[in-house]
């Protein structure tokens, strides 16, 4: 059982790293300028997070959902938002390095 858990953890982290690497490579070789691509991606991510948040808040009065499920879904939304910000920051950093601009200061 422990070996199976390790397998699925490895599979999950591999998928996440692969997705991050694919996103970064897509940004590097995109046909649009980096700023345009960033605006498009950040807009889509914001819309998706807003829709998820609306669904979450829309079900506040629905007793079929437990507080634990709401808490967990909010954690997932927050984690997704943080990961999206990290990926966008990494992509911007790579684009700046490619263009020869100095690294941006991290907040």
User: Along the 107 residues of the chain, how does pLDDT read in single tens digits?
Assistant: 677 778 888 888 889 999 989 888 877 777 777 777 778 888 888 888 888 887 777 655 555 556 777 788 888 888 888 888 888 888 888 888 888 766 555 55
This prediction has a pTM of 0.36
CB-based contacts of 4, cutoff 8 Å, min separation 6: none
HSE-CB at 57 with a 13 A cutoff on CA atoms is: 6
* Contacts made by residues 57-60, CB under 8 angstroms, sequence distance 24+: none
């Amino acid at each position: 059982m422990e070996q199976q858990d390790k397998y699925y953890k490895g599979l999950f982290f591999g998928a996440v790293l692969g997705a991050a690497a694919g996103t970064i490579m897509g940004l590097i070789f995109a046909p649009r300028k980096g700023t345009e691509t960033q605006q498009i991606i950040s807009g889509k991510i914001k819309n998706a997070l807003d829709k998820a948040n609306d669904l979450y808040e829309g079900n506040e009065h629905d007793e079929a959902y437990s507080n634990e499920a709401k808490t967990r879904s909010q954690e997932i939304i927050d984690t997704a938002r943080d990961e999206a910000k990290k990926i966008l920051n990494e992509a911007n950093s790579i684009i700046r390095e490619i263009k020869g601009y100095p690294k941006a200061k991290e907040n």
